[in-house]
Copies of this chain bind each other. A is one copy, B any other.
Amino acid sequence: MAENNLYHEITPEGFGIAIKKDKDLFSDKSDFQKVDVFHSRAFGNVLTLDGLMMVTERDEFFYHEMIVHVPMLTHPNPENILVIGGGDGGTVRELLKHKSVKHIDMVEIDKMVIDVSKKFFPSVSCALDNPKVSIVVQDAVEFIKNKKDFYDVVLIDSTDPIGPGEGLFNENFYNDVKKAVKKGAIITPQTEGPFAQSENFKKTYKLLKKVFKNVAPYCSPMPTYPGGYWSWGFCSDDVEIPLDYTKIDKSRAQTIEKTSKLYNRELHSAVFKVPNFVKELIKD
């Protein structure tokens, strides 16, 4: 939605963010959703899907560093990684900073998102052509059914639980993910904004806790998402929560910290300390 040169994403309750557009760069309909790119002085290039904010050049690090480095540095030796969604490439870029990674499958349903990101978001998509990365253009709900006992870390870098992302917030899907991972694996879905989308958040954690033994949200700011406050799920059948931070390999973590705008080891533990209202939402 654009009015008077302002892009808005407004929640059904009636609030959200506004960004001044300088220039429309791309607009098309893929088989799955409307794909738009515009330029803004505040955030550089901005990608929206069905009008909802996905990625901006300036603040994408808040999201991508959090979804990647928290599970990756908790795992002692993550080699095979699955990214579900994440067509912009930011998650893959951060993953490849981890030297242990041997292979990444990125399963994105919408090729147009990948193409648009390669064209308009070079600083985000820059690692998509790396030989360690297989890009699979397919519905992850189907892809995951054929994978057994393979991945060390699974990142569900999905859109919101409406439209093409809907099937990724689902008990059957989480059960298939569980079968696709090795012992000791960590599964991290993006789990929406605990303040702006508290009902979705609550529902998602109820499902995750049905499927995985150990589940905890971690929360961090995300300026261009509704409420400015986002969450990811730390899910594992084997890794105990609260995490034992002394097990994080110092040298691996330092490599990541050096190139991070957000991530540091102190923050790694801090993001699991959540407000009372978040605890309340996940207590069932």
Contacts and interface: CB of A to CB of B under 8 A. Distances in A.
Contacts of A14: 19-20, 40-42
Contacts of A273: 264, 266-267, 269-270
B18 A15 contact: yes
A243 interface: no
11 contacts: A10-B20, A11-B42, A14-B41, A15-B17, A16-B17, A59-B195, A221-B229, A228-B229, A261-B277, A264-B279, A266-B273
Interface residues of A, number: 47
Contacts of A224: 15
A264 B269 contact: no
A28 interface: no
Contacts of A227: 221, 223, 228
Contacts of A222: 228
A18 B269 CA distance: 32
Nearest to A261: B277
Interface string A253-282: 000010011111011011101111101000
Contacts of A4: 3
A266 B275 CA distance: 9
A173 interface: no
A114 B269 CA distance: 40
A244 interface: no
